[in-house]
Structure 1
Amino acid sequence: MIDENLPPAMAKSLAALFAGKHEVVHLRKKFGPGVKDTEWIAALNAEGSWIIISADRRITKNKAEQQAFKSSKLVGFFLSSGLQKSKLTKQMERLMALWETIEKQADLVSGGAMFEIPIKSTKLKQI
């Protein structure tokens, strides 16, 4: 799931690239624009295991959103603040460089885990 703070084009590109291996959907396509974080977190949690790629660091800091996420079956990968401010091409470059690491990390952890996607490093930092 690509969150609402990232462009739908990112989700479309990743969906095409990983067709048959991963279902990649933009949050707006599934829930419409402006859905509250606690609502989509609860809905995706009810569906089962989802991996979230997000530029919404508020989820990691706001108590209600953080609690909803940490008690869910979701695993989140959040762009670092520097990466959030970067151009889409840089964001995609980092996602592609770390995609296998993201896949492996998601398989290793249980739901509610949050990680930061760095702008330069090859290591994910747990949030």
Structure 2
Amino acid sequence: MNVFFDNCTSPVLAATLHGFIQHQGHAAAHVRDLDGLPNGRHSTDLEWIDRLRKSNDQWIFISGDGRVLKNPAERAALRSAGLHGFILAPAYQKTPLNQVASILIWRWPEILQITNLLQPPSMHEVPINRNGKLRSLPI
């Protein structure tokens, strides 16, 4: 399993999660570190979605921007790419980075379980509260 973090997240989150999951055979990468994007870190959502779709690897993505679900072209691309997506709840924007990283690590088993149980595409919101459940979003 590979985890992609878009530009609406900090590269620190990808590096932290990667350090936690690599011993399980998984990997995490930020958009700035992903090879094959036409405009590198400045690639559009449609460009990175297409890059993940064309990959032979299994990818999920984590974004801090729920607007990806409001743009019809991006929604269609996500559906056709067959990705599992996880959108960080708006409260993450005001949360210190170390706490966001700890919540992602806390949630990793749940994220992994969802990707194993559900057929892609799927979309979920990751709540800031550790006791809250991941909320399914329409795709």
Compute the TM-score of the two structures, normalised by the length of structure 1: 0.91
**How big is the shift at 1:122?**
3.1
Q: Cα deviation per residue 1:55-111 (whole Å; 9 max; x = unaligned)?
A: 121112111111111222210011011123322122112212211100000111122
Query: Identity across aligned pairs (percent)?
Result: 33
Quote the Cα distance in structure 2 between the aligned partners of 1:13 and 1:95.
9
Moved over 3 A (4+): none
Corresponding residue to 1:16 among 19, 35, 41? 19
- Other-structure match for 2:9: 6
- Other-structure match for 1:122: 132
Corresponding residue to 1:35 among 28, 38, 43? 43
Aligned pairs for 1:1-127 within 5 A: 1-21=4-24, 22-30=26-34, 31=37, 32-48=40-56, 49-120=58-129, 121-127=131-137
Describe the shift of the 1:99–1:46 C-alpha distance in structure 2 as closer, same or farther (beyond 3 A).
same
Equivalenced residues, count: 127
Quote the Cα distance in structure 2 between the aligned partners of 1:105 and 1:122.
15
Q: Which amino acid aligns with 2:135?
A: K
Q: Is the 8 A contact 1:73 1:111 kept in 2?
A: yes
Compute the TM-score of the two structures, normalised by the length of structure 2: 0.84
Q: Which amino acid aligns with 2:27?
A: E
Question: Could you tell which deviates more after superposition, 26-35 or 84-93?
Answer: 84-93
Quote the Cα distance in structure 2 between the aligned partners of 1:90 and 1:51.
21
Q: Which amino acid aligns with 1:7?
A: S
Q: Alignment partner of 1:14: what SS? A: helix
Cα RMSD of the aligned pairs, angstroms, is 1.4
Q: Which amino acid aligns with 2:17?
A: L
Is the strand fraction higher in 1 or 2? 2
Gaps of at least 5 residues in structure 1 are: none
